[in-house]
Amino acid sequence: MKKAQEKRVVVIGGGFAGFSAVKTLGNCKGILVTLVDRRNHHLFQPLLYQVAMAGLNPSEISVPLRSYFSRYKNVDVLMAEVSQVDLENKKINFDNEWLSYDYLLIACGSKHFYFGNDEWEEYAPGLKTIEQATEIRRRILLAFELAEREKDQKKREQYLTFVVVGGGPTGVEMAGAISEMARNTLYKDYKNANLKKTCVVLIEAGSRILNAFPEKLSDRAKSDLEDMGVEVLLNQRAGPLSKHGVKVGDRFLHAHTIIWAAGVKPSQLTESIDVQKHTDGRILVGGDLSLPKNPNVFVLGDQAACCVDKKDEKEFLPALAPVAIQQGRFVARLIKNEMSGKSRSSFRYVNKGIMVTIGRSRAVASSGPIQLTGFLAWLAWVFVHITYLVRFKNKVFVLLQWIWAYFSFGKGARLIIHKTWRFYSGKKIPISKNSDL
Amino acid sequence: MKKAQEKRVVVIGGGFAGFSAVKTLGNCKGILVTLVDRRNHHLFQPLLYQVAMAGLNPSEISVPLRSYFSRYKNVDVLMAEVSQVDLENKKINFDNEWLSYDYLLIACGSKHFYFGNDEWEEYAPGLKTIEQATEIRRRILLAFELAEREKDQKKREQYLTFVVVGGGPTGVEMAGAISEMARNTLYKDYKNANLKKTCVVLIEAGSRILNAFPEKLSDRAKSDLEDMGVEVLLNQRAGPLSKHGVKVGDRFLHAHTIIWAAGVKPSQLTESIDVQKHTDGRILVGGDLSLPKNPNVFVLGDQAACCVDKKDEKEFLPALAPVAIQQGRFVARLIKNEMSGKSRSSFRYVNKGIMVTIGRSRAVASSGPIQLTGFLAWLAWVFVHITYLVRFKNKVFVLLQWIWAYFSFGKGARLIIHKTWRFYSGKKIPISKNSDL
């Protein structure tokens, strides 16, 4: 039961922003926290590509929200999908229930954006959820199996062609990992298909991959990828997509497997909230991350268009995990301060740097004046990711998996898990081979 | 290419029987082996219930067949579903391809049998595949979430009622594990639903559970389960089933989650083979496990009705992993012997004993005159299962998971993984909440 002097903070979304906010508000006197998420777990998305690449298990990069927050008496966790935010009456709706708030934190992240071509999703899944990661894993491993059995040379090449759309961190990591897995790990398991001939194409619309990095590192990442057998296409737009492949400029790439790592847009809920938005759909927030007309409502993480003043230009903070984590902590502290009568300050992002791994012993990292490449960058990447992983058990198991994989050159969870049937409206639906690919 | 003097052994199914046969035939001169399985992995089924109970990851109890057998030059692995066996012309069909054999080993196991009520499967999945295990995990964890949010007392009780149909090893292990997870691990995470009131009912049609065990151990298992809060109903048949629950005698158990661990029948392929069968659908085999009219075709594991002559009665070997493993090895050796001119012998099953775990530090084990219960039986169970697990990495990770769980009283992979959509015949189908439960 809420007491009169207590404030209810409702947090929508248990991603990086929501998770760090709830953690900071844990066991605070006078504050009741309700975390609402349609998933029952927090997901460490930076390592999700390793689940898709059969290197890690889903559970090793996830934390069940309920058990994690059971340590705080003032935190409630609800597994539900918020359908409506009523800013006027200060309440949110899920499954026909209303929940009132004193403070609201909207942090439900982003989803993939196919530039208006939603039908492409069938041919090129994105990588945001565990389900998508295991689906991508299934498609990649199945492609090798189909190639092994195929007698037609052309078709076999198509099975062994993998296209990754989007040259950001996820695209680079996926492209590198597929090429490495085929050439270094799996090739000896296949007797008919020559996996050394696996063709991985990375398509980037801009003039360089990893455009958030210094140009030198972008170039290094490109040459690392090319060393590993990845074809990198710059200044090229992908589309249209079909089950036969993808059109890129004048070329049609016959590919059995396409992975979407290009556009994102804020999640569904954002659209239904009637506030001022940036052209990319993100909600425009003030310096304290609140809505201009609703100072008790904050928007965080991928959903927020948060201004950074630079000398000459106005810029928005990128959709990165460290931004979301810092924003969550900032808003939580702001609420605590406000309740003890202090005034609000503005959010300042402390950029500790960015890094991305390209393959075995290969990565690029940039932090202030420091730029690392190769083995050193890769070691730094391993260290940072183990440090930031939530839950001690996950740290131990992920580190063990990595050590094992490093010394055995092997990959872990190479399972093809089918959905052979599914009940839909009471009917048993067989998932046929074609519809499933 | 097959040489004239070489023999092709085709093995259908990479379960315990097929796996041990292929292993025994690995690197044998003059023998080419083709293993055909619709899955890409061998599954250690005795631990599958722990995947369903969020204790282990799917990859920890599986081995990718292709990578495991890549060590043998004479073994080919094909991921395909065999649709037809042509005994007369000595060939099998899959996906419109024909493959000829000199020796054929049929070992594709069994599937669940709902006593002719296939529609029950929707309400009560069985536990044979990884997909089913993660589906059961999803249903169990979701039931607790729904109970937590439910305000109606009756409905909440229904969410917290779990019915397990069938008092064999799987049923006993599932019932014990659900009760233990709710009462000892999860209860502190839920603030509204009282998980200590979780009701687990185990329904057995016979006069005792674990009827393959000595009567004393059956009784001990029953009292152990009752200690742990499981209600054991004997001499009761379950059915009909619906989404509201299950009818048992005059009683209707309102239950949100039902798990089927009762009947099994040989897999689909068995039906299409026109040979003599036992009333339960298993194929009748001779003493050397071959078909009476086709001495080069062997049936192994759950699919075979293999006679054991006892003093007074005729009996068939049970569908157990050790039987399948020994049969696989026996037939492989028989083929090797036959090729070097030796005559055939009869299969003799060496019964090393049976064991089943009931909960933390509780198990029953029986081996010849030795009967173990409690902590000692449980330790023996742990030791035997780690020993028999295939792949060194799996042994290490499963042991680590168990040690971690033992000392933390926690469970590992407590993720609810949804299928939020699925493409079917080109259409995107949302999996609605109701159809999914």
Note the pLDDT tens digit of each residue in A35-87: 999 999 999 999 999 999 989 999 999 999 999 999 999 999 999 999 999 99
Set of chain A residues whose Cβ sits within 8 Å of the Cβ of B432: 425
What is the token pair recorded at B67?
A: 């990578």
Q: Are B273 and B85 in contact (CB under 8 A)?
A: yes
B3: confidence class by pLDDT, cuts 50, 70, 90: confident
Distance CA B297, CA A357 (A): 52
Please pick, among A88, A145, A157, A173, the residue that the annotation labels catalytic. A173
Nearest CA in chain A to B74: A191
- Only one residue has tokens 């239950």, namely B255
Distance CA A110, CA A265 (A): 5
Predicted local distance difference test score (pLDDT) of residue B430: 43
Angle between helices B321-339 and B16-25 (to 10 degrees): 30
One-character DSSP codes across A42-82: EE-GGGHHHHHTTSS-GGGGEEEHHHHHTT-TTEEEEE--E
Distance CA B350, CA B325 (A): 11
User: Amino acid identity, residue B12?
Assistant: I
**Average pLDDT score over chain B:** 90
Predicted local distance difference test score (pLDDT) of residue B395: 93
Please pick, among B157, B173, B180, B204, the residue that the annotation labels catalytic. B173
Determine contact: A370 vs chain B, CB below 8 A.
no
Kindly report the pTM of this predicted structure.
0.89
Predicted local distance difference test score (pLDDT) of residue A69: 95
**Per residue in B255-295, pLDDT tens?**
999 999 998 888 889 988 999 999 889 999 999 999 999 99
Binding-face residues of B in 246-305 toward A, CB within 8 A:
none
Q: Is the pLDDT of residue A428 over 70?
A: no
Predicted local distance difference test score (pLDDT) of residue A399: 94
Set of chain B residues whose Cβ sits within 8 Å of the Cβ of A80: 149
Q: Are B421 and B430 in contact (CB under 8 A)?
A: yes
Q: Is the pLDDT of residue A238 over 50?
A: yes
Q: Is the pLDDT of residue B244 over 80?
A: yes
**Per residue in B327-358, pLDDT tens?**
999 999 999 999 999 999 999 999 999 999 99
- Only one residue has tokens 């189909």, namely A146
Distance of CA B82 to the CA centre of its chain: 20
B432: confidence class by pLDDT, cuts 50, 70, 90: very low
Angle between helices A392-408 and B392-408 (to 10 degrees): 170
Predicted local distance difference test score (pLDDT) of residue B26: 95
Average pLDDT over residues A245-257: 95
Greatest Cα pair distance, chain A, in angstroms, is 74
**Average pLDDT score over chain A:** 90
Predicted local distance difference test score (pLDDT) of residue B435: 31
Q: Checking DSSP bridges between strand B62-64 and strand B75-79, what pairing results, if any?
A: unpaired
Q: Which of A270-274, B12-16, B316-320, B417-421 has the highest mean pLDDT?
A: B12-16
SS3 assignment, position B195? helix
Q: Is the pLDDT of residue B408 over 70?
A: yes
Closest of A319, A270, A258 to residue A119, by C-alpha: A258
Q: Is the pLDDT of residue A4 over 80?
A: no
Residue B72 neighbours by CB under 8 Å, 6+ apart: B22, B26, B27, B33
A312: confidence class by pLDDT, cuts 50, 70, 90: low
Neighbouring C-alpha atoms within 13 Å toward the C-beta of A185? 26
Predicted local distance difference test score (pLDDT) of residue A307: 84
Number of CB atoms found within 10 A of residue A292's CB: 10
A120: confidence class by pLDDT, cuts 50, 70, 90: very high
Average pLDDT over residues B142-154: 93
Distance CA A50, CA A61 (A): 10
One-character DSSP codes across A363-427: EEEEETTEEEEHHHHHHHHHHHHHHHSSSHHHHHHHHHHHHHHHHH---S--------EEEETTE
Predicted local distance difference test score (pLDDT) of residue B271: 87
A19: confidence class by pLDDT, cuts 50, 70, 90: very high
Distance from CA of A351 to the nearest CA of B (A): 32
What is the token pair recorded at B134?
A: 């993660």
- Residue % of chain A over a pLDDT of 70: 92
This complex has an ipTM of 0.86
Distance CA B351, CA B343 (A): 25
Residue A320 neighbours by CB under 8 Å, 6+ apart: A354
Q: Is the pLDDT of residue A231 over 70?
A: yes
Average pLDDT over residues A317-329: 94
Set of chain B residues whose Cβ sits within 8 Å of the Cβ of A408: 393
B42-51, B118-127, B284-293, B420-429: the lowest-pLDDT one: B420-429
**Per residue in A174-227, pLDDT tens?**
999 999 999 988 988 898 899 999 999 999 999 999 998 999 999 999 999 999
Predicted local distance difference test score (pLDDT) of residue A309: 65
Distance CA B251, CA B374 (A): 33
Own/partner contacts of A223-229, CB < 8 Å, gap of 24 or more, are A224/A176, A224/A358, A224/A359, A224/A362, A224/A364, A224/A373, A225/A172, A225/A175, A225/A176, A225/A179, A225/A358, A228/A176, A228/A179, A228/A180, A228/A183, A228/A358, A228/A359, A228/A362, A229/A179, A229/A183, A229/A198, A229/A200
Report residue A414: phi and psi, to 5°. -80, 55
Q: Are A9 and A101 in contact (CB under 8 A)?
A: yes
User: Which of B32, B44, B59, B65 best tests the A interface by mutation, with the highest count of A CBs <10 A?
Assistant: B59
Binding-face residues of A in 103-122 toward B, CB within 8 A:
121-122
Distance CA B418, CA B146 (A): 15
Known catalytic residue at B313: no
What is the token pair recorded at A368?
A: 């202030």
Determine contact: A39 vs chain B, CB below 8 A.
yes
A404-418, B245-259, B336-350: the lowest-pLDDT one: A404-418
Distances (CA, A) of B185 to A70, B180, B231, B406: 12, 7, 19, 11
Set of chain A residues whose Cβ sits within 8 Å of the Cβ of B414: 40-41, 59, 64, 67
Distance from CA of B219 to the nearest CA of A (A): 35
Determine contact: A423 vs chain B, CB below 8 A.
yes
Q: Is the pLDDT of residue A437 over 70?
A: no
Q: What single DSSP character describes residue A184?
A: I
Distance from CA of A32 to the nearest CA of B (A): 14
Predicted local distance difference test score (pLDDT) of residue A412: 52
Q: Is the pLDDT of residue B431 over 70?
A: no
Distances (CA, A) of A5 to A29, A77, A151, A295, B245: 10, 22, 74, 19, 45
The H-or-E segment that residue B100 falls in is: strand B97-100
Q: Are A361 and A377 in contact (CB under 8 A)?
A: no
Set of chain A residues whose Cβ sits within 8 Å of the Cβ of B431: 422, 424
Distance CA A383, CA A320 (A): 18
Q: Is the pLDDT of residue B412 over 60?
A: no
A262: confidence class by pLDDT, cuts 50, 70, 90: very high
The answer to whether the CB atoms of B57 and A62 lie below 8 A apart is no
Q: Are B201 and B163 in contact (CB under 8 A)?
A: yes
Of residues B41, B428, B431, nearest to A422 (C-beta): B431
Instruction: Respond yes or no on whether the N-terminal peptide bond of residue A58 is cis (omega within 30° of 0).
Output: no
**Per residue in B289-326, pLDDT tens?**
999 999 999 999 999 998 876 555 578 888 899 999 99
Distances (CA, A) of B22 to A79, B28, B81, B330: 47, 10, 18, 11
